[in-house]
């Protein structure tokens, strides 16, 4: 039996289902409309030919997801793994809030799960009220429908990752131009190997990082190894959550917050838990050897490596095809309103139909030696 399902444009809430030449319209309630939409998209996206999704047109997944300017009108949930998945029903953090401002608005990467957006707003509020931090400058979260990005991240694909600058928020609302052109400040000392610049570092930054790590829903936080060492050497407070703060390449001007898979998100693949302890051990000392920074040895007899194959839609969880093809929801309706944030009217668009169109992944995605003591 050949079965098909589409949304009926002539009947609000209608789902057209059919088989063996018979088609009927089912009128469904608004409360389950997003579920029906996702079901219909799953069925429409179910044709795979030799492992290649017929809907991708041969385009890499990063092009397909990068072309989506609005989120899917489906239930909010992460799909897949942090570095291999997508975001269903994404919500945006407002561009401005009482204790945050979003940066690089042109990238359209301030989307996430409701759990992530709520966590970031809470962190901004707690850091201001309890730690004296002026406010957060927000970097990249995820794209409206998650998925691979054309630049900058290997992870940030499922709406559970957020980059936050180590530069405090200024005392005025920045213009779009300021948000595009202001440079974040590296915490590293110039012309020195993995050394935090004490003229730039401050106890307030340490409090901000430990505040972020204190929330139970936070899985881990990525920072530069030099920043991790500074925390290990100087933090005199409760070190219970210090182990969540993990050293990684880069991350000297921002920190990367990653939260756990939300409860009930069966399609979300979790990452292995961080090792026990505060992380101020051999796993950190390894970063201060030559090994992590040495270029890979070249075999003069080896053939030139093949060009990496781009990630295709068919490489992602099957539900990502449904997310990509689902109808859109307007930015105004999809903007999270948990803490009084605002989005300028120019950014609030009316609904439009969806058209098909690198913070780091776990260390397995980067060429580090096998002798690395622990997994980040």
Kindly tell me if the per-residue pLDDT of 204 is higher than 90: yes
Where in the chain are the domains? 2-50, 56-292+313-354
Instruction: List Cα–Cα distances, 160 to 157, 232, 376, in angstroms.
Output: 8, 26, 16
Rounded to 10 degrees, the C-alpha dihedral 223/226/229/230 comes to -100
Q: Alpha-carbon dihedral of residues 54, 59, 62, 64, nearest 10 degrees?
A: -60
- Average pLDDT value for residue range 203-214: 98
Top-confidence residue, 369 or 99? 99
Mean pLDDT calculated for residue range 210-235: 98
H/E run at residue 282: helix 282-285
Mean pLDDT of 75-100: 97
pTM of the model: 0.77
Convert the pLDDT of each residue in 15-63 to its tens digit. Answer: 444 443 333 433 333 334 444 444 444 444 443 333 334 456 789 999 9
Pairing between β-strand 100-102 and β-strand 136-138 as defined by DSSP bridges: parallel
Model confidence at 171, pLDDT cuts 50, 70, 90, reads: very high
Q: What is the mean pLDDT of the chain?
A: 82
Per-residue pLDDT, averaged over 268-283, amounts to 96
**CATH number, domain 56-292+313-354:** 3.30.1380.10
Q: Report residue 231: phi and psi, to 5°.
A: -65, -45
């Amino acid at each position: 039996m050949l079965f098909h399902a589409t949304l009926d444009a002539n009947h609000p809430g209608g789902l057209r289902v059919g088989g063996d030449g018979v088609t009927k319209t089912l009128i469904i309630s608004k409360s389950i409309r997003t579920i029906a939409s996702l079901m219909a998209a799953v069925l429409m996206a179910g044709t795979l030919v030799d492992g290649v999704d017929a809907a991708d047109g041969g385009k890499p997944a990063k092009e397909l997801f990068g072309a989506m300017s609005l989120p899917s009108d489906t239930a909010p949930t992460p799909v897949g793994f942090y570095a291999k998945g997508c975001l269903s029903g994404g919500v945006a953090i407002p561009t401005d809030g009482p204790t945050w401002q979003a940066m690089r608005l042109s990238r359209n990467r301030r989307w996430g799960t409701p759990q992530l957006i709520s966590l970031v707003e809470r962190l901004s509020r707690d850091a201001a009220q309890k730690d004296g931090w002026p406010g957060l400058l927000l970097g990249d979260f995820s794209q409206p429908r998650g998925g691979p990005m054309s630049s900058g991240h290997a992870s940030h694909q499922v709406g559970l990752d957020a980059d936050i600058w180590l530069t405090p928020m200024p005392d005025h609302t920045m213009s779009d131009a300021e948000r595009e052109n202001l440079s974040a400040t590296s915490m590293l000392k110039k012309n020195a190997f993995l050394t935090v610049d004490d003229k730039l570092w401050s106890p307030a930054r340490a409090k901000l990082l430990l505040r972020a790590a204190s929330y139970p829903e936070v899985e881990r936080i990525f920072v530069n190894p030099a920043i991790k060492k500074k925390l290990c050497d100087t933090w005199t407070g409760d070190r219970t959550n210090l182990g969540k703060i993990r050293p990684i390449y880069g991350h000297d001007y921002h920190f990367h917050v990653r939260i756990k898979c939300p409860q009930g998100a069966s399609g979300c693949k979790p990452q292995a838990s961080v090792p026990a302890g505060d992380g101020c051990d051999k796993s950190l000392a390894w970063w201060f050897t030559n090994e992590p920074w040495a270029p890979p040895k070249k075999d003069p007899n080896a053939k030139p490596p093949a060009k990496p194959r781009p990630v295709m839609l068919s490489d992602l969880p099957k539900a990502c095809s449904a997310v990509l093809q689902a109808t859109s929801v307007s930015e105004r309706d999809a903007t999270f309103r948990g803490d009084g944030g605002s989005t300028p009217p120019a950014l609030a668009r009316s609904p439009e139909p969806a058209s098909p169109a690198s913070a780091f992944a776990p260390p397995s995605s980067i060429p580090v030696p096998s002798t690395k003591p622990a997994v980040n």
